[in-house]
Structure 1
């Protein structure tokens, strides 16, 4: 069984460029085993053969692997800190800040950033890069249609201004959509570009091993300009920020030295 999974990891890396060995093994193995059993396969080997031949199965595998749980203004108090305390400082340094939402899933995060930025400048001046590994979720983000539960934390004024009801869903306004450029990206393998004034990467790093996190923190740090802000999820505190040239600016916010 262990060998079967190792071979699967090697095959997937060749086929997609994704290195599953950088994810926590027990978690990933459990998730993928239940997926292939549900589809009627008996081993990782059988499953790999199937996903090599069936585009839909491959897409489902990628979707499952990239854990998409997202909502607007998730952990609202943190977004408040960004809006009230940190963005004014960022805008003092750069009136057209360079912003990146990494591992953006179905788009709630970059669109939240755009709504917050709309309080500081015309939306026509807001530019946000949003990246994810999964083309499926990027396609869904571009459509901009969300179930009601995704909007639980959205302030009422923002909900009225930027969402319209569409059947049992809510559609986000085109003027918000236009502020975000979506791109496919593998965080571990691809270059980051920059320098950014703000990088948001939340509720993704928990799925990586400590070694992979170390690589990513270094890459994020290198992609920020001095005094740039790195915003992580509420289970992703960096315990030794100094190692990456970060200083703690607030809970779950780190400033590049």
Structure 2
């Protein structure tokens, strides 16, 4: 079995399209997983994934790249907050999509920002990810001290409960967010978003897939709605997607 056959099997079995990822990076990640369990052939690794749920969950988690933190690149979130304050002068309600939300740090960061802008704000946040195990953890909203490094002491006291050394997110913030499974490559996108946040994800995809995703994001935004991407994901051809640059990593639909 070669990597192409393995990718096709993963798609058929788990509905994850590995052919959309940059092959060099992806295959290195798969090879790293195999070496961790002492397996050298893809055929044997396939057998392991079919028979061992724990290894299967590790594979899906590792491949779908669940790296996140609260207020990742804090200065960019501060810039977003300034822009949202201006946006709310013209809009009384807001619909946000946190795409590829991982364990929930990003949508909860957005909820904190919105609450700081206006505690009575009419906001709905859709938070999606391809990994159901990760989404279950996001819904719980429970975090270790090591995952709280960018959260200020004020925000810890205001938005979290310290329970036995773990931090539990405030129920009001939870109520603002709807967590849902979604595949950026294969699934239909909802419409009429004021803000879409998708950070540090599309860098792993091939250029043609990346461009398709940016176009779908643009189609899903209201006119004047914004797209916030990661600190390594400048969109150089943003005009091709009907966007204009608002800030270094924030774009607005024209």
For the criterion TM > 0.5, the same-fold answer is: yes
Match of 1:70 in 2: 68
**Equivalent pairs, count:** 254
Is 1:7 aligned to 2:5, yes or no? yes
Q: Secondary structure of the residue that 1:92 maps to in structure 2?
A: coil
Match of 2:113 in 1: 116
Contact 2:93–2:121, Cα closer than 8 Å, also in 1: no
The partner residue of 2:33 within 13, 29, 35 is 35
Q: What are the within-5 Å matches in structure 2 for residues 98-137 of structure 1? A: 98-122=95-119, 125-137=122-134
Is 1:61 aligned to 2:50, yes or no? no
Q: What are the within-5 Å matches in structure 2 for residues 164-203 of structure 1? A: 164-203=161-200
Q: Secondary structure of the residue that 2:179 maps to in structure 1?
A: strand
User: Structure 1 CA distance, aligned partners of 2:117 and 2:36?
Assistant: 48
Is 1:209 aligned to 2:221, yes or no? no
Q: Describe the shift of the 1:228–1:202 C-alpha distance in structure 2 as closer, same or farther (beyond 3 A).
A: same
Poorly superposed stretches of 4+, deviation over 6 Å: none
Name the TM-score, length of structure 1 as normaliser. Answer: 0.94
| Ranges in structure 1 where 5+ consecutive residues have no aligned partner | none
User: Structure 2 CA distance, aligned partners of 1:163 and 1:88?
Assistant: 24
User: Structure 2 CA distance, aligned partners of 1:182 and 1:24?
Assistant: 27
Residue by residue over 1:189-212, the C-alpha shift from the partner in whole angstroms, topping out at 9 and shown as x without a partner, is 101111100000001111111111
User: Structure 2 CA distance, aligned partners of 1:47 and 1:121?
Assistant: 51
Name the TM-score, length of structure 2 as normaliser. Answer: 0.95
User: Structure 2 CA distance, aligned partners of 1:83 and 1:218?
Assistant: 24
User: Structure 2 CA distance, aligned partners of 1:169 and 1:48?
Assistant: 36
What is the RMSD of the two structures over their aligned residues, measured on CA atoms? Answer: 1.4
Residue by residue over 1:129-164, the C-alpha shift from the partner in whole angstroms, topping out at 9 and shown as x without a partner, is 000001111011111111223222223321110112
Match of 2:237 in 1: 240
